[in-house]
Amino acid sequence: MKLALVGDIGGTNARFALWRAERLESVQVLATADFATPELAIEHYLVGLDLGAEALGAVCLAVAGPVGGEHFRFTNNHWHIERSAFCRSLGLPAGGLLLVNDFTAMALGMTRLRPHERLQVCPGVAEPGCPAVVIGPGTGLGVGALLPLGGGRWQALPGEGGHVDLPIGNPREAALWQALFAQLGHVRAEDALSGNGLLQLYRAFCSVDGHDPVLASPAAVTAAALAGDTLASAVLEQFCVWLGRVAGNNVLTLGARGGVYIVGGVVPRFAGFFQTSGFCRGLADKGCMSGYLDGIPVWLVTAEYPGLEGAGVALQQALEERPELH
């Protein structure tokens, strides 16, 4: 078949690569603000490789949001896509564009990890044939599931698990929840377990413990914690424990004895702290069901382009189902 192109598009950056022989080639990151449309960004990417749009046979883009229907509007940048016009612009066959939810791509990307692209957080052995949880604090909190279908095929189940209620496990967490509620009203998991959530959590600590907040960004909270600041360290520790509680809830809901993958841009910034934190304790703190969590492995993903890899997996599976695109 002709070349295929995959993309992982966020609010600020669009990552593009060629997908050939089930591998990524020529990864490039472009600023979405530099291009009026995704078609123009793709054309620019191809020109840099001395390729024309006619070289493409299919395109798969991982995007934030629901992907049904003819039109897709990005929620975090100015781009939008009309499927038929997109295909005409790039000379693709009808139906040559596959859009997938960004966390669908992220989950599928877990099937492509190499050993050096993940760090063990909680020891254990994944049970074959069982679902896995993929959870990622970033700009928000992404949560999804990865289901093995057999024969080397996979299905990702995206959802809105970042918007579940933030769980309370002890009186201290109840006090912090009350402080968050005073700031926000309804308290979602994402309100504590995201980049901005880390700052919200710091302010909650200050409110409960009677401190004046002096740190003004998530990066400042993380830097202070890693430098040994007592308050910031307690905030980051609570972040890890709460992430464990939410991940553990998902394991129980899904029967996800296939393991837990921690993804996203936040946690790798303090990977060493995270590996020795109370995350595993929070994961397994499930009362009479705590034993169910024993032996479930957890990995922190450090791969550079898991979303692009997952877009490639999604495209590969679609191509196998649609031979007319070959």
Detail the residues annotated as belonging to a binding site for ATP: 7-12
Residue 53's pLDDT is what? Answer: 85
Fold of 114-302: Hexokinase; domain 1 (3.40.367)
Torsion sign (Cα): 319, 320, 323, 326: positive
Give, for all 326 residues of the chain, the pLDDT tens digit.
578 999 999 878 899 999 998 899 999 999 999 999 999 999 999 999 999 888 999 999 999 878 888 999 987 789 999 999 999 999 998 889 999 988 899 999 999 999 999 999 999 999 999 999 999 998 889 899 999 998 888 899 878 889 999 999 999 999 999 999 999 999 999 999 999 999 999 999 999 999 999 999 999 999 999 999 999 999 999 999 999 999 999 999 999 999 999 999 899 999 999 999 999 999 999 999 999 999 999 999 999 999 999 999 999 998 887 655 54
- Are 3-101 and 114-302 the same fold in CATH? no
Cα separation, 29 vs 321, whole angstroms:
29
Residue 323's pLDDT is what? Answer: 57
Single pTM value for the model: 0.90
Cα separation, 42 vs 97, whole angstroms:
13
Detail the residues annotated as belonging to a binding site: 7-12
Domain chopping of the chain, boundaries: 3-101, 114-302
Q: What is the DSSP string of 113-181?
A: --GGGEEEEE---PPTT--EEEEEESSSEEEEEEEEEETTEEEEEE--GGGSBPP--SHHHHHHHHHHH
Cα separation, 136 vs 194, whole angstroms:
8
Fold of 3-101: Nucleotidyltransferase; domain 5 (3.30.420)
Q: Where are the beta strands (DSSP E) in the chain?
A: 3-9, 13-20, 23-31, 56-63, 71-73, 80-82, 97-101, 118-122, 132-137, 141-150, 153-158, 260-262, 298-301
